[in-house]
């Protein structure tokens, strides 16, 4: 989380929230200040009173061509890095987005940078798998569930932003 700590902290400094124990991170190894900020970030993304445009404020690149249902690991890695740099997401959520469907060879090198994936289907699969671990009593899975849900919420917001950008560019082209 250290990678984007300052950017996330600056972005969320005006966000007032009542800490919800469902978002509390306990076993991730983060120092308490970072775990608290990660909790705040996840609650921010779960807060339905804040529009997606506000949550993505400062994102200054064109998402009109981005389709989370037909994307590549390379695109997701680049996108997650950009979102982390802007403080829109923290490193842990960025990992969930940027490492979807990664395959590695025996030397540890990633082999599927450009393979098309459906990010929503992948995240739904992760959620289902994580829920099974929770049902089996694995405590770590609750935190994974929260991070995966946050990644899914971010992907939905990005899809909405891309669709808006496409509609606006079509209107601009017709005028």
Range with the poorest average pLDDT among 11-15, 26-30, 87-91, 102-106: 26-30
pLDDT of residue 53: 92
Per-residue pLDDT band for 127 (boundaries 50, 70, 90) equals very high
C-alpha distance from residue 128 to each of 13, 31, 67 (Å):
33, 29, 23
- Are 102 and 73 in contact, with CB atoms under 8 Å apart? yes
CA distance 80 to 99: 9
User: Which candidate, 42, 52, 5, 44, places its Cα nearest to that of 22?
Assistant: 42
pLDDT of residue 87: 94
CA distance 30 to 7: 17
Return phi, psi of residue 104, to 5°: -130, 150
pTM score, two decimals?
0.86
Residue 46's domain comprises: 2-174
The domain total for the chain is 1
pLDDT of residue 3: 65
Provide the CA 142 distance to its chain's centre, in angstroms.
Answer: 16
Model confidence at 79: pLDDT above 90: yes
**Bigger pLDDT: 7 vs 4:** 7
Model confidence at 172: pLDDT above 60: no
pLDDT of residue 141: 85
pLDDT of residue 108: 79
pLDDT of residue 2: 52
Q: Is 64 exposed, middle or buried (0-12, 13-18, 19+ CB in 10 A)?
A: middle
- Are 147 and 96 in contact, with CB atoms under 8 Å apart? yes
- Which pair of structure tokens corresponds to residue 5? 């700590």
- Are 39 and 62 in contact, with CB atoms under 8 Å apart? no
Where do the H-state alpha helices sit in the chain?
5-11, 32-46, 52-55, 73-85, 91-98, 119-135, 140-174
């Amino acid at each position: 989380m250290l990678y984007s700590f300052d950017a996330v902290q600056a972005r969320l400094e005006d966000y007032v929230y009542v800490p919800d124990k469902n978002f509390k991170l306990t076993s991730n190894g983060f120092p308490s200040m970072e775990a608290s900020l990660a909790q705040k970030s996840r609650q921010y993304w779960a807060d339905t009173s804040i529009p997606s445009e506000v949550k993505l404020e400062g994102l200054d690149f064109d998402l009109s061509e981005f389709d989370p249902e037909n994307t590549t690991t390379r695109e997701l890695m680049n996108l997650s890095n950009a979102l982390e740099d802007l403080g829109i997401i923290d490193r842990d959520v960025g990992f969930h987005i940027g490492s979807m469907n990664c395959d590695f060879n025996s030397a540890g090198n990633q082999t599927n940078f450009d393979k098309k994936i459906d990010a929503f289907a992948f995240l739904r699969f992760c959620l289902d798998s994580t829920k099974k671990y929770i049902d089996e009593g694995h405590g770590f899975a609750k935190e994974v569930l929260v991070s995966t849900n946050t990644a899914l919420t971010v992907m939905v917001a990005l899809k909405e932003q891309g669709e808006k950008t496409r509609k606006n560019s079509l209107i601009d082209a017709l005028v």
